[in-house]
């Protein structure tokens, strides 16, 4: 989901006039912040279960355990990453611009800053997407293993 937001949704928002971007971004954020944490936590629970099963298994190497544990930690780490880096640097300023837009107080001079904030948000979001991808790859590797390497349940 995160990667598709940066690749599909953000360019669509950026195609709109800068004066409309804060409201479009705020709507996208409202939808995403309700879905993403649940998916991250659900994935973490699933990988935690797999890590527990891999640890208990005497039939496999310990590699799946480490891969599942990594996935169980890195995927939900998007939540503290968002709180620590995205909120203060891009989310709060974009919410302020959306509020200014809604009240009619958004000024033309704000357009350059809006465009920069939306671009910065996409960059930060790409990091979240990379975290999720790393966890997913580790999880798949733990399940199926790679040719010539220990792994797989």
SS (H, E, C) 12-47: HHHHCCCCCHHHHHHHHHHHHHHHHHHHHHHHHHHH
- In this structure, the number of other CB atoms found within 10 A of the CB of residue 103 comes to 8
- For position 1, what pLDDT does the model report? 66
- For position 52, what pLDDT does the model report? 94
- For position 151, what pLDDT does the model report? 53
- For position 129, what pLDDT does the model report? 94
Is pLDDT above 70 for 152? no
CA 144 – CA 27 distance, rounded (Å)? 39
CA 7 – CA 51 distance, rounded (Å)? 32
- For position 133, what pLDDT does the model report? 95
Distances 108 to 76, 112, 118, 132 between C-alpha atoms, Å: 38, 9, 16, 37
Is pLDDT above 70 for 88? yes
Looking at residue 86, what DSSP letter applies? I
**What three-state secondary structure class fits 128?**
helix
The token duo for 79 is 């939540």
Q: What angle do CA 74, 79, 85 make, to 5 degrees?
A: 105
pLDDT tens-digit readout, 29-64: 999 888 888 888 999 999 999 999 999 887 667 889
pLDDT tens-digit readout, 93-148: 999 999 999 998 988 888 999 999 999 999 999 999 999 999 999 999 998 875 55
The token duo for 90 is 């891009």
């Amino acid at each position: 989901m995160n990667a598709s937001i940066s690749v599909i949704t953000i360019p669509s928002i950026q195609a709109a006039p800068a004066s409309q971007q804060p409201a479009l971004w705020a709507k996208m954020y409202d939808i995403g912040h309700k879905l993403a944490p649940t998916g991250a936590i659900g994935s973490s629970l699933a990988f935690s279960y797999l890590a527990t099963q891999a640890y208990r298994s005497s039939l496999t190497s310990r590699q799946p355990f480490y891969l599942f544990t990594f996935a169980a930690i890195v995927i939900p780490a998007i939540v503290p990453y968002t709180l620590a880096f995205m909120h203060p640097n891009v989310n709060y300023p974009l919410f302020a611009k959306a509020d200014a837009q809604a009240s009619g107080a958004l000024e033309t001079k704000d357009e350059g800053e809006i465009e920069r904030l939306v671009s910065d948000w996409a960059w930060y979001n790409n990091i979240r997407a990379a975290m999720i991808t790393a966890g997913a790859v580790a999880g798949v590797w733990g399940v199926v293993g790679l040719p010539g390497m220990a792994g797989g349940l």
